[in-house]
A and B are shown apart, each in its own frame.
Chain A
Amino acid sequence: MAEQKPLANRNEDEFLRRRRRRSIAIALALCTLVAIFYAITVIKLGPQILVRDL
């Protein structure tokens, strides 16, 4: 029996769906930022990255 969910429930489903998509988008943005900082570090330092004079 395909009964329609009450409006409140449908709204909640939509809310959760949006929050999930938003979380994924923020996660992707953060991962990109990490990758960018990693790339900048490696490229700027070059081979020097292995030199660790203490």
Chain B
Amino acid sequence: MTYADNHSDTSEALPLGQVEDYLALLKPRVMSLVVFTGFVGMLVAPGTIHPVIGFIAILSIAIGAGASGALNMWYDADIDAVMSRTLNRPIPAGRLTGDDALYFGVTLAGFSVVVLGLATNWLAAGLLAFTIFFYAVIYTMWLKRSTPQNIVIGGAAGSFPPMIGWAAVTGTISIDALILFMIIFLWTPPHFWALALYKKGDYEAAGIPMLPNVAGERTTQNQIVIYSVLLTVTAFGPVLTGLVGWFYAVPAAVLGVIFSVLAVRVRFSEGREMKRRARVLFTYSLSYLFVLFVALLADVGLIKWFGVL
């Protein structure tokens, strides 16, 4: 008589996922960072964009990022099931099937790219399509499980949003867009390796070759320090190209020095204390990127809209 009859003997697994489960597939927390960096890329780019078109572009970038998240959860359901951090994601928890996530992800990916292309230009749309492909196929399916350099290369996917935002406004990719890309690209390894240092056991259980498991903690700490210093230096790129002035340069210097000091502190510690410091670095790195981009936006905003500096 009803659709539910066939499934009435299972009290837990109803055949329909909840709306909330589908939203969880989009990785809302990753999405918020993508929206933010894409938004900044769009606003600091020379030229103007109609506010409504700008909003649609950001929405498309966000949905595209969400689509890659869904595809990632579809493919990674087996390893998500063994890590405490990801155990409760919709598929390992049994609230959605793998196919649900796959179809959802592919549909959203297609719509986000087409809408971005129609609203802005096909360079931006192409970059978005490449980002989704890079994250879902190159990173998730290939690199993540095969090389300890997984997040270094995979981090490129997370570095594209400001470039897409930039391309949406200008229709081109300039040196400034590349610098914004490089900042996030260099930020990703120390960010995730700090996490991997204090969640080492988790990745080990899942068989993911994160750097601390493969090359050891000392190598990871050294790498974190190297990337932190490179990041601090690269963060000055926009000053050199003349995109921004001292209003960005001062916070960039302070933030970068703190980042490097925290990285060095992780390097010269061991055991429990090292894990505690790694956690501090991980938390700090999130605020670092946020404040750096706010400073970028504020500096460009002051020049662009108020003519100061």
Contacts and interface: CB of A to CB of B under 8 A. Distances in A.
B4 A16 contact: yes
B140 to A, nearest CB: 25
B18 A15 contact: no
B11 A11 contact: yes
B56 A40 contact: yes
Interface residues of B, number: 25
B52 A15 contact: no
Contacts of A8: 4-5, 8-9
A18 B100 CA distance: 15
A21 B19 contact: yes
A12 B15 CA distance: 11
A45 interface: no
Contacts of A21: 18-19
Contact of A33 (B19, B50, B111): B111
B118 interface: yes
B14 interface: yes
B3 interface: yes
Nearest to A18: B16
B115 to A, nearest CB: 6
> Which secondary structure characterizes the binding site on chain B?
helix
Interface string A1-44: 00000011001101110110110010000000100110110010
A27 to B, nearest CB: 12
B50 A43 contact: yes
A22 B16 contact: yes
Contact of A12 (B2, B11, B19, B115): B2
A29 B68 CA distance: 18
A11 B52 contact: no
A40 B11 contact: no
Contacts of B119: 36, 40
Given A8-B5, A43-B52, 17 more contacts: A7-B8, A11-B7, A11-B11, A12-B2, A12-B5, A16-B4, A18-B17, A18-B18, A21-B19, A22-B17, A22-B19, A36-B56, A36-B115, A39-B52, A40-B53, A40-B118, A43-B50
19 contacts: A8-B9, A11-B7, A11-B8, A11-B11, A12-B2, A12-B8, A15-B15, A21-B19, A22-B16, A22-B19, A25-B19, A25-B22, A33-B115, A36-B56, A36-B59, A36-B119, A39-B52, A39-B53, A40-B115
Interface of B: 2-5, 7-11, 14-19, 22, 50, 52-53, 56, 59, 111, 115, 118-119
